[in-house]
């Protein structure tokens, strides 16, 4: 998890309840605070390189804008998923579009505020697996069909 605020703690509680190893990183994360909630604090590189699923729960600010970029996406496992439940600009959009092309991420990372469009794919000649896109995106696509 990137960010362990109010929403992050709620998501972490679900993972802990199911016996999942929950790890987190944030610029000002207190290891004692994470331990109180059954979460292990890691450094940024270790979080991105060891996680199967990375969820983002941060407030958007000048300091957090672009907090996930080319380096972080490059550290991810080829099969890892990135789920941005916060604001789109936390993830650098150009790095996000370049990640599948560079084979740095096993699937197309999703974002609540911005999911790369089919135009992004065509313009960059990318190939993505539609079944691995967020369900809300699939719903949005179906609603445009007449």
pLDDT by position in tens, the chain (length 146): 999 988 899 999 999 999 999 999 998 899 999 999 999 999 999 999 999 999 999 988 888 888 999 899 989 988 888 888 887 788 888 887 776 655 544 444 444 445 555 455 444 444 444 344 444 444 444 444 44
Q: What is the pTM of this model?
A: 0.68
For residue 86, count other CB atoms closer than 10 A to its CB.
24
- C-alpha torsion sign, points 30, 87, 115, 67: negative
Mind listing the domains of the chain with CATH numbers?
A: 6-143 (3.40.50.720)
| Distance in angstroms (rounded) separating the CA atoms of residues 125 and 123 | 6
């Amino acid at each position: 998890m990137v960010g362990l605020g109010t929403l992050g703690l709620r998501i972490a509680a679900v993972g802990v309840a199911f016996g999942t190893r929950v790890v987190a990183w944030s610029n000002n994360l207190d290891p004692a605070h994470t331990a109180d909630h059954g979460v292990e604090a890691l450094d940024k590189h270790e979080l991105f390189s060891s996680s199967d699923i990375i969820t983002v729960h941060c407030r958007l600010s000048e300091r957090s804008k672009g907090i996930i970029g080319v380096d972080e996406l490059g550290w991810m496992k080829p099969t890892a998923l990135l789920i941005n439940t916060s604001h789109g600009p936390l993830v650098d959009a150009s790095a996000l579009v370049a990640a599948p092309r560079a084979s740095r991420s096993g699937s197309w990372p999703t974002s609540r505020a911005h999911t790369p469009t089919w135009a992004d794919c065509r313009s960059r000649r990318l190939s993505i697996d539609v079944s691995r896109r967020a369900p809300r995106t699939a719903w949005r696509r179906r609603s445009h069909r007449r």
